[in-house]
Chains A and B, each alone.
Chain A
Amino acid sequence: MTGALIAREVRRGLHGSAWLPVAFFLLVATIVPFAVGPDARLLARIGGGALWIAALTAALLPIERLIEPDRADGVLDQLAMAGIAEEASSAAKIAGHWLTFGPMLLIAAVPGSFLVGLDSAALVRSLTSLAIGTPALAALAVAVAALTAGLPRAGSLAGLLLMPLAVPLVIFGALHSSPAQRSAPLGLRPSGENRRGEQQTARFFAHSHLAAFDLSAQMRRHLFE
């Protein structure tokens, strides 16, 4: 059933407007050079972080369609009746959402990196950090969607909630995207490339797993109210 749920999420994601977050991501990346000016060195320095901000804002767009339609239509009720644990359906939602969001964002990050003036080494770093970070971003998006489902103006509220929750992600994501020799956000200085990667992966995964459990608690709250 979990496989069917993931397939359903992917189908619904692609049926809707899966290109919208990607277009948004590229638009934000396009605006960065206009906002900070055409200084190539400056752009290359902030480019990795700019891509992360673009990814974060793009992640906001699909939030309203992730949980609320299923709550309103009784799908969550029927899943509970079918004896599927909330944790399993949350994990399926996260996986399904990432599949329609992550890979397309990674592809869009290639032209995006040219827009913000990253060189090929920086592009590889950015792609790695986005590849590791987008599952956590997807998990946060689904968790926030569950938290705000059924509330009036849920979309704007979701933005207010997601941004602060995503701060750790953006810190570590941008840290990994940035050139190794210069100072990283918050003065975090990596001791070695490999160790840094491992730590980040651990943090990203911890982040997304916590989100999954928070999400299932939220689903339960919707069910019993």
Chain B
Amino acid sequence: MSRLLKGERLALVRGGRLLFEDLDVELDAGEALHLIGPNGCGKSSLIRLVAGLLRPNAGRVERADAALADDSIALDRELPLGRALAFWKGPRLVEAMSTLDLDRLAHVPVRLLSTGQARRARLARVMASTAPLWLLDEPLNGLDRDGVQRLASAVAAHRSGGGAILAASHMPLGDGWRTLEMGQ
């Protein structure tokens, strides 16, 4: 199986505080890793580090192409959702929008979306990309039951298609996830 993520002996200091050290993280095709741990233990920072948006103080990360869904919406608020998402040029945008039931919102300006709809929009950007590695920071926040199910099926489809997922969440993400407990 092909290796999609390999982080070796990672250490990260933020704001003068050591968040983690000697942390190894690996993901092969088809795998999913669930980061758990108390607030402030460095889950989101690890995701940003893997994304390449933070530099580790020690260790190194090798990864395949990745797509990130975190707290920031990164969509132009004045544009209709469909056009705002299209800016990111995801090749599978149409598919992703129907998977997350965003079709009917394509003409709604991003600023009028509800919390849950905006969360779906962030996930849609990830799903629309062809990146094999998905990085999801608290993907279930704000999602309703239908959204949680749709995400679960998208995750399953992505894994069976040879993708891998690294997610941080306080809520259970379903079956088949390895867990990595941080902040011990």
Instruction: List the 6 closest pairs (A to B, CB-CB), nearest first.
Output: A74-B72, A74-B74, A78-B74, A75-B74, A81-B68, A73-B74
Which residues from chain A contact B68 at a C-beta distance below 8 Å? 77-78, 81
Give the total number of A-B pairs whose CB atoms are below 8 A apart: 44
A224 within 8 A of B: yes
Q: Which of B50-58, B148-156, B165-173 contacts A (4 or more CB under 8 A)?
A: B50-58
Residue of A nearest to B70 (CB): A74
Which residues B105-140 have CB closer than 8 A to chain A? Answer: 125
Docked-complex contact A81 and B89, CB < 8 angstroms: no
Residue of B nearest to A7 (CB): B87
A1-44 to B contact mask, C-beta < 8 Å, 1/0: 10010001000100100000000000000000000000000000
Which residues from chain B contact A1 at a C-beta distance below 8 Å? 89
A203-225 to B contact mask, C-beta < 8 Å, 1/0: 00000000000000000000110
**In the assembled complex, how far is the CB of residue A93 from the closest CB belonging to chain B, in whole angstroms?**
14
Docked-complex contact A81 and B76, CB < 8 angstroms: no
State how many residues of chain B have any CB contact under 8 Å with chain A: 20
Docked-complex contact B52 and A80, CB < 8 angstroms: yes
Docked-complex contact A77 and B54, CB < 8 angstroms: no
A188 within 8 A of B: no
**In the assembled complex, how far is the CB of residue B9 from the closest CB belonging to chain A, in whole angstroms?**
20
Residues of chain A whose beta carbon lies under 8 Å from any beta carbon of chain B: 1, 4, 8, 12, 15, 72-75, 77-78, 80-82, 223-224
**In the assembled complex, how far is the CB of residue A218 from the closest CB belonging to chain B, in whole angstroms?**
15
Residues of chain B whose beta carbon lies under 8 Å from any beta carbon of chain A: 51-55, 66-68, 70-76, 78, 87-89, 125
Q: A82 touches which one: B70, B76, B88 (CB < 8 A)? A: B88
**In the assembled complex, how far is the CB of residue A182 from the closest CB belonging to chain B, in whole angstroms?**
49
Q: B53 touches which one: A4, A12, A73, A77 (CB < 8 A)? A: A77
**In the assembled complex, how far is the CB of residue A85 from the closest CB belonging to chain B, in whole angstroms?**
13
**In the assembled complex, how far is the CB of residue B38 from the closest CB belonging to chain A, in whole angstroms?**
23
Expressed in whole angstroms, the Cα–Cα distance for A82 and B70 within the complex equals 15
**In the assembled complex, how far is the CB of residue B165 from the closest CB belonging to chain A, in whole angstroms?**
15
Expressed in whole angstroms, the Cα–Cα distance for A80 and B88 within the complex equals 12
Docked-complex contact B67 and A224, CB < 8 angstroms: no
Which residues from chain B contact A82 at a C-beta distance below 8 Å? 88
Which residues from chain B contact A75 at a C-beta distance below 8 Å? 72, 74
**In the assembled complex, how far is the CB of residue A75 from the closest CB belonging to chain B, in whole angstroms?**
5
Docked-complex contact B88 and A77, CB < 8 angstroms: no
Known A4-B87, A8-B87; judge A81-B72 contact (CB<8 A).
no
Q: A12 touches which one: B71, B76, B125 (CB < 8 A)? A: B76
